[in-house]
Structure 1
Amino acid sequence: MEEKYLEINGKTLFTMQKGEGEPMIFLHGGPGGSLDYFLPHMEPLSKDFQIILYDQTGCGKSEVKKGHKYSIEDEISNLEALRKALNLEKVTLFGESWGSILALSYAAKYPERIDKLILTAAVGLTSADYRAFKQNLFRKLGFYKKVLLGWYSLTSLFSAHASRKLQQLLDPYYVYSFDTLSKKKEISFNKVALNYIGKELDQDYNLLPSLSELGSLPILIAQGSHDILTPEYIEKHVINHLPNATLTEVKESGHWTILEQPDKMVALTGSFMRSEGERSKGTGPLAQ
């Protein structure tokens, strides 16, 4: 992997690149996570494509000035500036969880810059979907764990111990198999980014007015069979708005498809990239 720091919109973003071919930019979850989540699981895609990963504002190894006001619009602006800095005309975006929201939000504003969208652990198109995600997760917790969740959530901004306990409390509900948790590596997390963007997602996130921009884009949604928002939910609340989207269920997986079923995710991604490439050229078995 080639590592670089790029000055983007007055911020220093940490990036990693590998491979040649069609460019694919990976958007990590959170808000507040890091690109480490994708590695090494998605690295095999670099055999056929140019894969580009970056830590979002103030996340992972990326830097930001103190007092920065995190927002969806700022992250869209940073992604567009990154595309320009890398001299890419069009890109495929691979968004995971919150990254799926960022991918859709960017595509709604810059549809002409999108080749394809690949989304996993999708969280939908509106604040109602985001709230449904939180409510479904909350329902899985018993009373005692709900009390602990409230306490750890209040104190995690000030205590690293509380932050770890909060993560340990929630992690089992993100996976299909508890064995998966032994493979999960600890990553740095920007709780301020989560707080700012989380509030925006809860109140002001709505891509329904942008369906005309999104509707013509090739989109693959790979949703875990046991995700917090199930494939059935995505079918009902997302796919019906996106006529050019394909929904695939990733079996034996929760929210963290990349961690639980990395081989399946690599295969699904490669197949979608190649099939849509053939379709756009008007050749191959999918051409009509």
Structure 2
Amino acid sequence: MAPIYPAFDANKTGQLQVSPVHSIYWEECGLSSGVPIVYLHGGPGGGIEPSDRQYFDPSHYRSILFDQRGSGQSTPHASLEDNTTWHLVSDIEKLREHLGIEKWIVFGGSWGSTLALAYSEKHPDRCLGLILRGIFTLQREELEWFYQKGANFLFPDYFDAYQAVIPEEERGDMMQAYYKRLTGDNEEEKLKCAGAWSRWETATSKLLVDADYIAKSDNPKWALAFARIECHYFVNGGWMPDGQLLNEAHKIKHLPIVIIQGRYDVVCPAKTSWELYKAMGGEANTNVEYKIIGDVGHSAHEKAIEEALVDAAEKFKSIKQ
């Protein structure tokens, strides 16, 4: 298992105007003539970090990272206007065309895996292959497990704090109750709910609760984009029929694909990644590799997950442009 690469800087950065409202921040790293690979961050609303570059050998890959609408350094911050799954899929295509890339490897974890599936199923001819982690397909049962009832059986103390900001009479639909507040006019309540929503997710993201990771939620700018955009996507079911990404997985089963899943992932339980693997043909499809990592949870920042992602990117070095 290979460690992540030492930190390195981006070669180029820019802002791409993708609509009258939205501009997305992007950066290009590594070898300018290398095999293109695009990194799709989680959330939605999470934004990219410098450490996200470190999965990709800078002497081989031309890696492209960007902040999705409303996230990170993209503008306007935390905006929900014209912000849907299909707007983001369109943005990926606009960025590919802007950078003059014909085809690329698509890399995404958690919500990034959702977006990677949505993009690749719509544009399979633009994909050289996929590296996916912590699979999330935006099915209602996945959302209810984490935000309503299921994950609370494992993290009842942190769920109590997540639930506490919502009046008892509204707790029958936590996502809707949060959405009302995260899109309301009470700025104090909006920030309080953004923090509570974000702390619930960061607290449950690793096998062992990491106080430093939870502390990300203390940044109100990050928490507001993360919570508002996530909740916006989830109450709207990603603007797709329930189960669409699994039902259309056959469109990409010819591509080389690695699926990496933490055994004890509470945020995106292994059931969904197993369903995706089976939808692509399971063991009968030699194009798809399914890897369960036994001693981790959800976060890409757990050492064994990092190493598995680097290994997948190393394996994909055999792919030609």
Tell me if both proteins adopt one fold, taking TM over 0.5 as the criterion.
yes
Give the Cα–Cα distance (whole angstroms) in 2 for the partners of residues 42 and 222 of structure 1: 18
Instruction: Specify the SS of the correspondent of 1:237.
Output: helix
| Structure 1 residue 81, shift from structure 2 partner | 0.9
1:18-69 deviation per Cα after TM superposition (whole angstroms, max 9, x unaligned)? 1121111111111111012xx3254251232111110000111101396613
| Structure 1 residue 122, shift from structure 2 partner | 1.0
Residue equivalent to 1:43 = 54
Instruction: Specify the SS of the correspondent of 1:238.
Output: helix
- The 1:51/1:152 distance shift into structure 2, 3 A limit, reads farther
User: Could you tell which deviates more after superposition, 259-268 or 15-24?
Assistant: 259-268
User: Could you tell which deviates more after superposition, 75-84 or 150-159?
Assistant: 150-159
Give the Cα–Cα distance (whole angstroms) in 1 for the partners of residues 138 and 82 of structure 2: 23
Residue equivalent to 1:3 = 13
1:163-222 deviation per Cα after TM superposition (whole angstroms, max 9, x unaligned)? 3344334423210123x4436773614133222211233773412442331221221111
Contact 2:108–2:115 under 8 Å retained in 1: yes
- In structure 1, runs of 5+ residues without a counterpart are 282-288
55, 61, 66: which one aligns with 1:54: 66
266, 291, 312: which one aligns with 1:269: 312
149, 154, 157: which one aligns with 1:140: 154
289, 295, 304: which one aligns with 1:246: 289
Matched, 1:82 2:120: no
> Aligned-pair RMSD on alpha carbons?
2.8
- The 1:26/1:236 distance shift into structure 2, 3 A limit, reads closer
Residue equivalent to 1:73 = 86
Q: Which amino acid is 2:241 matched to?
A: D
Give the Cα–Cα distance (whole angstroms) in 1 for the partners of residues 87 and 303 of structure 2: 31
Residue equivalent to 2:28 = 17
1:196-252 deviation per Cα after TM superposition (whole angstroms, max 9, x unaligned)? 211233773412442331221221111112112444x24642211013321112342
Give the Cα–Cα distance (whole angstroms) in 2 for the partners of residues 171 and 192 of structure 1: 15
- The 1:51/1:102 distance shift into structure 2, 3 A limit, reads same
- In structure 2, runs of 5+ residues without a counterpart are 1-9, 167-176, 183-188, 282-286
Matched, 1:257 2:287: no
- The 1:170/1:29 distance shift into structure 2, 3 A limit, reads closer
| Structure 1 residue 141, shift from structure 2 partner | 3.3
210, 228, 232: which one aligns with 1:196: 232
Contact 2:263–2:296 under 8 Å retained in 1: yes
Q: Percent identity?
A: 21
232, 235, 245: which one aligns with 1:207: 245
TM-score where L is the length of structure 1? 0.82
1:223-234 mapped onto 2 (5 Å cutoff): 223-228=261-266, 229-231=268-270, 233-234=271-272
1:108-151 deviation per Cα after TM superposition (whole angstroms, max 9, x unaligned)? 11110011111111114744444445444233232x65443223
Residue equivalent to 1:173 = 204
Give the Cα–Cα distance (whole angstroms) in 2 for the partners of residues 250 and 140 of structure 1: 19
TM-score where L is the length of structure 2? 0.74
Residue equivalent to 1:285 = none
| Structure 1 residue 8, shift from structure 2 partner | 1.9
Q: Which amino acid is 1:274 matched to?
A: K
| Structure 1 residue 162, shift from structure 2 partner | 4.1
- The 1:56/1:174 distance shift into structure 2, 3 A limit, reads same
- The 1:146/1:208 distance shift into structure 2, 3 A limit, reads closer
- The 1:230/1:29 distance shift into structure 2, 3 A limit, reads same
- The 1:195/1:230 distance shift into structure 2, 3 A limit, reads closer
Give the Cα–Cα distance (whole angstroms) in 1 for the partners of residues 215 and 312 of structure 2: 23
User: Could you tell which deviates more after superposition, 76-85 or 8-17?
Assistant: 8-17
Q: Which amino acid is 1:246 matched to?
A: E
Tell me the number of residue pairs that the alignment of Structure 1 and Structure 2 aligns.
273
Residue equivalent to 1:284 = none
Residue equivalent to 1:286 = none
- The 1:266/1:139 distance shift into structure 2, 3 A limit, reads same
